[in-house]
Structure 1
Amino acid sequence: MQINVHLFAGVAEAVGSRTWSGDLPEGATVADLFARLADEHPGASSLLRVAFASVNHAYSTPETVLSSSDEIAILPPVSGGQDTEMTEERFLITKSPLSVEEMLKKVRNPLCGAVNLFVGTVREMTHGQRTVHLEYEAYAPMAIKMMAQIADEIQERWPDTQVAMAHRVGKLEIEDAAVVIAVATPHRAASYEAGRYAIERLKEIVPVWKKEVWSDNTQWMGHQQGPWNPLRPGSEG
Structure 2
Amino acid sequence: MAKWTVLLFAGAADAIGSDRISLETADEAPTAGDIKRELVGRYPEAARVVSASFVACDYEYIQDHEPVKPGSELALIPPVSGGQPHKEDQPAQEPLFRLTREAIDLHAVSSLVSHPDHGANLVFAGSTREWTDGRRTVRLEYDAYELMALREMEKIGNDIGRRWPGTRTAIVHRLGPVGPGEISVVIAVSSPRRAAAYEASRYAIDQLKLTVPIWKKEIWEDGSEWKGDQTGPWNPLAREKEDDSL
Q: Structure 1, residues 133-156: CA drift from partner, whole Å, max 9, x if none?
A: 111101110111111111111111
Residue 157, structure 1, aligned to residue 163, structure 2: yes
Q: Structure 1, residues 6-48: CA drift from partner, whole Å, max 9, x if none?
A: 1000000000000011222312111111011101111110011
Deviation, structure 1 residue 67: 3.5
What's the TM-score, normalizing by structure 1? 0.92
Alpha-carbon separation, structure 2, partners of 1:130 and 1:227: 26
Count residues with an aligned counterpart. Answer: 230
Deviation, structure 1 residue 111: 1.6
Alpha-carbon separation, structure 2, partners of 1:38 and 1:101: 46
Alpha-carbon separation, structure 2, partners of 1:215 and 1:157: 43
Aligned residue type for 1:131 = T
The equivalent position to 1:110 in structure 2, one of 110, 116, 138, is 116
Alpha-carbon separation, structure 2, partners of 1:46 and 1:224: 12
Instruction: Give the root-mean-square deviation of aligned CA atoms.
Output: 1.7
Residue 196, structure 1, aligned to residue 202, structure 2: yes
Structure 1 residue aligned with 2:53: 51
Deviation, structure 1 residue 233: 2.4
Structure 2 residue aligned with 1:91: 97
User: Cα–Cα, structure 1 residues 17 and 126, in superposed 2: closer, same or farther, change >3 Å?
Assistant: same
The equivalent position to 1:133 in structure 2, one of 131, 135, 139, is 139
Aligned residue type for 1:60 = I
Aligned residue type for 2:81 = S
- Contact in 2 for aligned 1:51/1:74 (Cα 8 Å): yes
Q: Structure 1, residues 128-187: CA drift from partner, whole Å, max 9, x if none?
A: 111011111011101111111111111111110000001101011111110000000001
Q: Secondary structure at the match of 1:233?
A: helix
Tell me which stretches of 4 or more aligned residues in structure 1 moved more than 6 Å.
none
The gaps in structure 2 that reach 5 residues or longer are: 83-93
Q: Secondary structure at the match of 2:239?
A: coil
Structure 2 residue aligned with 1:83: none
What's the TM-score, normalizing by structure 2? 0.89
Structure 2 residue aligned with 1:60: 62
Residue 18, structure 1, aligned to residue 24, structure 2: no
Q: Secondary structure at the match of 1:112?
A: coil
Identity of aligned residues (%): 41
Q: Secondary structure at the match of 2:7?
A: strand
Structure 2 residue aligned with 1:39: 41
Alpha-carbon separation, structure 1, partners of 2:69 and 2:165: 39
Q: Structure 1, residues 54-105: CA drift from partner, whole Å, max 9, x if none?
A: 101100011222244101100110013xxxxxxx820001111111111111
Aligned residue type for 2:221 = S
Structure 1 residue aligned with 2:6: 5
Aligned residue type for 2:165 = P
- Contact in 2 for aligned 1:2/1:68 (Cα 8 Å): no
- Contact in 1 for aligned 2:171/2:186 (Cα 8 Å): yes
Structure 2 residue aligned with 1:84: none
Aligned residue type for 2:109 = M
